[in-house]
Amino acid sequence: MLASLDNEVIFKKAFTNIFVFTHFVKDILGIDVVVDKIETEKRFDEKVGKIDFRLDIFAETVDKRIIIEIQRIEYDHNFNRFLHYFLATILGQQKSSKDYSIAQTVYVIVVLTEKYSISQKNGQPVRNEVLLLELNPRTLDDKKLDLYGHQLQFLNPNHPEPNTPKQVRDWLDLVYQSIHNPEKPIVNLKNKGIEKAVELINYDKLSSKEITAMKDAEMKRQALSKKEDKARKEGVKEGKQEAKIAAIIKALNKNLPLDLIAELNDVTVKFVAKIQNELHKPK
């Protein structure tokens, strides 16, 4: 039986193992890396954009050429946050206004464990297993110039696509199976990185200390989720109220009768009159 990679304790146990980490990076990014230390909850000394951010899993190669971050997230309404993390890690390398060189290539991999609930700006839903942002310029004939190489990837096993590379699918299957089919997971154990990860997150081999930490993390996650759900609902409610007030003001400016405005907007005449009085208050 597998412990769930949706749990931050288990996720970090798996991906802070150097063998698992390097195999994961090779399969996802296609690059061989050598690291001697993997950090968790990484903080930077200087805040970028006045935000004190933490990185779930952070490593840099021994030759100091590459920075790789892995983030786990079970909700998706904070894409902007990860874009900030990505750009801040790049920007943080500049130490002087006289030197704009960026010595290290930055890769950020975000693993999402829930289906997307967001939409594009055109209203179309996001339903992709792999999303890739590359910071490299392109010519007018769509030829990419390899100037920077920084990459931000979003991986979501809840939206399988037929063109996802097999080595990437192996890891997404591991994440999905650990959450949805932990007792009889179907994963590719021929992939040595997957095999090691399965060994590490085998529930029966977890220590009592790890199980306690895992349960504590889950309780915190549930509490945070409830708080965020409440905030979202309050935000929706507030947004509807603001839209209703805007409609009432528009109707008042057209000099419609108060009782008609109240009826059209499902509010009391007293509420409409209050808004009218606010509009006519001397500024």
Most confident by average pLDDT, 1-5, 56-60, 267-271: 1-5
**CB–CB of 116/76 below 8 Å?**
yes
What average pLDDT does range 202-220 have in this prediction? 91
What is the rounded CA–CA span in Å between residue 79 and residue 85?
10
Tens-digit pLDDT profile for residues 238-260: 667 788 888 888 888 888 888 88
| Residues whose CB falls within 8 Å of the CB of residue 106, separated by 6 or more in sequence, listed in order | 66, 67, 68, 69, 86, 89, 90, 150, 151
Neighbouring CB atoms inside 10 A of 92's CB total 17
Domain ranges in the chain? 8-206, 236-279
> Which pLDDT belongs to residue 139?
95
User: Three-class SS of residue 75?
Assistant: coil
Tokens of 283: 């500024």
pLDDT digits (tens, 9 = 90+) for 109-162: 999 988 887 888 788 888 999 999 998 899 999 998 988 889 999 999 999 999
- 133 Cβ partners below 8 Å, 6+ apart? 83, 86, 151, 152, 153
120, 182 contact by CB (below 8 A): no
Side by side, the strands of the sheet bearing 66-73 are 39-43, 54-60, 66-73, 105-112, 151-155, 130-134
Contact 175, 7 (CB under 8 A): no
Distance CA 151, CA 160 (A): 21
Residues recorded for the chain: 283
Least reliable range by pLDDT among 77-86, 195-204, 207-216, 248-257: 77-86
Beta bridge partners of 222: none
Q: Percent of the chain, pLDDT > 90?
A: 46
> Rounded to an integer, what distance in angstroms lies between the CA atom of residue 86 and that of residue 102?
14
Amino acid letter for position 48: V
Contacts 24+ apart (CB under 8 A), 21-24: 21/57, 21/59, 21/70, 22/193, 23/191, 23/192, 23/193, 23/194, 23/196, 24/70, 24/171, 24/193
Judging by DSSP bridges, how do beta strands 130-134 and 66-73 pair with one another? unpaired
